[in-house]
């Protein structure tokens, strides 16, 4: 079975690199997907319950501003007993403070540009369009407040209690953004519409699944645990969407019950726990067990040719693979690896696939700095059996049998534009096909496997 990489890299789906032409120049506005006329209602302020965990939508919006302008943020969470404000959005994980400053011309211009971007009327006539699509309930900046209930700027009356009227209290050295529960959990249209699959493209051609083996398909998992698995490599394809996992989990696919269908797995690096599920539906793990050390990277494949996938690990500090050919009992530890070997250099991104069509998955490495791919045809120590250049620095490798010939090839996901570049051979050269894979923002990881979306299997 082909397997996608498990990089430790967390990446934004849209990154903007900007050269400032003058100190007062703004770098944005942030990259914005196209939206239909249908739009969210104005966000509602959530009922207060202290839950100081980082919410995926809050963090993703903060990262969007940081990646666009370079200015840092703070206050994603606060302890329940901290500060003087009892009911703070920060204590719910639904607010952050963006580090701009009214006294710095460039930072003030950036703040004004973002606020104008959020509150502008869109091409469909929707007022405050992007604030509604992101689920924003409050914006506080420079002695003024905008909220989604009044929908206009007013003086920020809390400055009366500032004592010395400090810049922080008056929100002159940061912009405060608060989100609704839907916005904080990425349930608003900025996330749901922007994440929709838009179909394969390359001069009107699509990859042909000629068989005789089952062809692999693709999907993506966002940092909120939302999975989208796409069944056919063509426009208007079937796809299944479900939630599985927690923010920070590393997602992958594998055939855990040997039925020929790949289903989700997760690796929690903080504690070395593996969570496997036997259907492509929302729910709890069917099997969970411990394997590896915190910080290890999961690798998945059929390492002995028995038709079943297992979870093994790559330890970046040693650039070493630890392979095991069985799954543990539920709730137990997996035990020691069956064998281990080293391959590659520190910093290489590991992945697995069947490069020589013998039914056994073996390692591949991608050296991002040079765009160099290294493949080996056995799970043993040694040099590459095949190497070639493909992709750009920063690309993420994704392996799969795209045409059903029983052989896996290396494709590349490019975080900077959300495109997947697919090849049918493991050689230097241009991609055979491209797919606009993801046009939103936030952390997104590609997955690949043989799955069936028609039945949720």
Please write the tens of the pLDDT for every residue from 100-129: 999 999 999 999 999 999 999 999 999 999
CA distances from 456 to 36, 228, 241 (A): 28, 12, 9
DSSP conformation letters of 264-301 = EEEEETTTTEEEE-SSSSSS--SEEEE-S-TT-EEEEE
pLDDT band of 361, cuts 50, 70, 90? very high
Residue 67 within any structural domain of the chain: yes
Domain that holds residue 373: 202-449
Q: Are residues 103 and 211 in the same domain?
A: no
Residue 38 within any structural domain of the chain: no
Radius of gyration, alpha carbons of the chain: 24
Q: Is the pLDDT of residue 202 over 60?
A: no
Residue 27 within any structural domain of the chain: no
Lowest mean pLDDT of 46-50, 87-91, 438-442, name the range. Answer: 438-442
Final residue of a structural domain among 161, 189, 217: 189
Final residue of a structural domain among 134, 163, 189: 189
Residues 6+ apart with CB under 8 A from 60: 186, 191, 223, 441, 442, 443
Q: Are residues 174 and 299 in the same domain?
A: no
Q: Are residues 222 and 168 in the same domain?
A: no
Q: Determine phi and psi for 151, rounding to 5 degrees.
A: 65, 30
Mean residue pLDDT across the chain:
82
DSSP label at residue 103: T
Residue 17 within any structural domain of the chain: no
Which pLDDT score is estimated for 154? 94
Average pLDDT over residues 198-211: 49
pLDDT band of 304, cuts 50, 70, 90? very high
Average pLDDT over residues 246-255: 90
Looking at the chain, the whole-number percentage of residues with pLDDT higher than 90 is 42
Lowest mean pLDDT of 165-179, 206-220, 345-359, 365-379, name the range. Answer: 206-220
Lowest mean pLDDT of 132-141, 221-230, 321-330, 385-394, name the range. Answer: 221-230
Q: Are residues 142 and 235 in the same domain?
A: no
Q: Are residues 218 and 178 in the same domain?
A: no
Which pLDDT score is estimated for 291? 86
Q: What is the dihedral of CA 218, 222, 228, 233, to 10 degrees?
A: -30
Average pLDDT over residues 26-47: 83
Which pLDDT score is estimated for 413? 87
Residue 361 within any structural domain of the chain: yes
The answer to whether the CB of 227 falls within 8 A of the CB of 422 is no
Average pLDDT over residues 238-246: 80
Which pLDDT score is estimated for 292? 84
pTM for this one? Answer: 0.57
pLDDT band of 10, cuts 50, 70, 90? very low
pLDDT band of 22, cuts 50, 70, 90? very low
Residue 212: is the preceding peptide bond cis (ω within 30°)? Answer: yes
Q: Are residues 182 and 211 in the same domain?
A: no
Average pLDDT over residues 305-323: 93
Residue 365 within any structural domain of the chain: yes
Q: Are residues 375 and 322 in the same domain?
A: yes
Q: Are residues 310 and 388 in the same domain?
A: yes
Summarised one tens digit per residue, pLDDT across range 142-165 is: 999 999 999 999 998 776 667 666
Distance CA 121, CA 118 (A): 9
Which pLDDT score is estimated for 45? 87
pLDDT band of 279, cuts 50, 70, 90? very high
Q: Are residues 206 and 133 in the same domain?
A: no
Q: Are residues 368 and 410 in the same domain?
A: yes
Q: Are residues 248 and 396 in the same domain?
A: yes
Which pLDDT score is estimated for 9? 29
Give 113 or 1, the one with higher predicted confidence.
113
Which pLDDT score is estimated for 422? 85
Distance CA 367, CA 345 (A): 9
Q: Are residues 345 and 250 in the same domain?
A: yes
Q: Is the pLDDT of residue 252 over 90?
A: yes
Listing from the earlier edge strand, what are the strands of the sheet with 217-222? 239-243, 226-230, 217-222, 444-449
pLDDT band of 341, cuts 50, 70, 90? very high
Q: What is the dihedral of CA 256, 262, 263, 266, to 10 degrees?
A: 70
Q: Is the pLDDT of residue 256 over 80?
A: yes
Lowest mean pLDDT of 35-39, 159-163, 225-229, name the range. Answer: 159-163
Summarised one tens digit per residue, pLDDT across range 170-193 is: 899 999 999 999 999 888 888 776
Which pLDDT score is estimated for 237? 53
Which pLDDT score is estimated for 160? 67
Q: Is the pLDDT of residue 205 over 80?
A: no
Which pLDDT score is estimated for 95? 93
Distance CA 349, CA 390 (A): 14
Q: Is the pLDDT of residue 223 over 80?
A: no
The structural domain count of the chain equals 2
User: Is residue 65 classed as helix, strand or coil in its secondary structure?
Assistant: helix
Final residue of a structural domain among 163, 189, 215: 189
Residue 8 within any structural domain of the chain: no
Residues 6+ apart with CB under 8 A from 387: 372, 373, 374, 375
Which pLDDT score is estimated for 157? 79
Residue 457 within any structural domain of the chain: no
Which pLDDT score is estimated for 320? 94
């Amino acid at each position: 079975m082909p397997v996608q990489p498990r990089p430790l890299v967390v990446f934004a789906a849209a990154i903007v690199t900007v050269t400032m032409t003058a100190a007062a120049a703004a770098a944005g506005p942030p990259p914005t997907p196209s939206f239909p006329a249908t739009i969210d209602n104005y966000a509602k302020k959530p009922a207060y319950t202290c839950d100081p965990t980082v919410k995926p939508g809050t963090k993703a919006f903060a990262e969007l501003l940081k990646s666009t302008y370079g200015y840092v943020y703070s206050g994603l969470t606060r302890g329940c007993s901290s500060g003087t404000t009892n009911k703070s959005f920060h204590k719910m994980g639904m607010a952050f403070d963006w580090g701009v400053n009214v006294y710095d011309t460039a930072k003030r211009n950036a703040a004004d540009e973002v606020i104008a971007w959020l509150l502008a009327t869109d091409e469909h006539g929707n007022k405050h369009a992007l604030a509604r699509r992101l689920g924003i309930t409050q914006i506080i900046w420079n002695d003024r407040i905008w909220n989604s209930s009044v929908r206009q700027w007013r003086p920020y009356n809390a400055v009366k209690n500032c004592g010395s009227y400090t810049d922080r209290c008056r929100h002159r050295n940061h912009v405060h953004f608060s989100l609704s529960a839907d916005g904080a959990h990425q349930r608003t249209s900025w996330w749901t519409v922007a994440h929709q699959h838009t179909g394969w493209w390359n001069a009107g051609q699509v990859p042909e699944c000629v068989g005789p083996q089952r062809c692999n398909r693709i999907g993506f998992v966002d940092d909120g645990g939302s999975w989208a698995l796409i069944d056919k490599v063509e426009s208007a394809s079937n796809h299944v969407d479900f939630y599985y996992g927690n923010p920070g989990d590393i997602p992958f696919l594998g055939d855990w019950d040997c039925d020929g269908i790949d289903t989700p797995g997760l690796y929690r690096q903080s504690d070395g726990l593996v969570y496997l599920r036997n259907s492509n539906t929302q729910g709890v793990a069917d099997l969970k067990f411990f394997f590896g050390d915190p910080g290890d990277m999961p690798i998945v494949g059929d390492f002995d040719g028995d038709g079943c996938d297992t979870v093994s690990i790559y330890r970046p500090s040693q650039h070493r693979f630890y392979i095991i050919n069985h799954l543990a009992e539920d709730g137990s530890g997996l035990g020691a690896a069956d064998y281990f070997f080293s391959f590659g250099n520190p910093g290489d991104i590991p992945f697995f696939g069947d490069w020589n069509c013998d039914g056994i998955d073996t390692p591949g490495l991608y050296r991002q700095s040079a765009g160099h791919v290294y493949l080996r045809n056995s799970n043993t120590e040694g040099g590459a059996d095949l190497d070639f250049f493909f992709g750009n620095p920063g690309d993420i490798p994704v392996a799969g049998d795209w045409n059903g010939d029983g052989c896996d090839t290396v494709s590349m996901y490019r975080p900077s534009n959300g495109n997947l570049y697919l090849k049918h051979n493991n050689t230097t050269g241009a991609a055979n096909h491209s797919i606009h894979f993801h046009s939103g923002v936030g952390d997104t990881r590609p997955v690949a496997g043989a799955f069936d979306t028609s039945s949720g299997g």
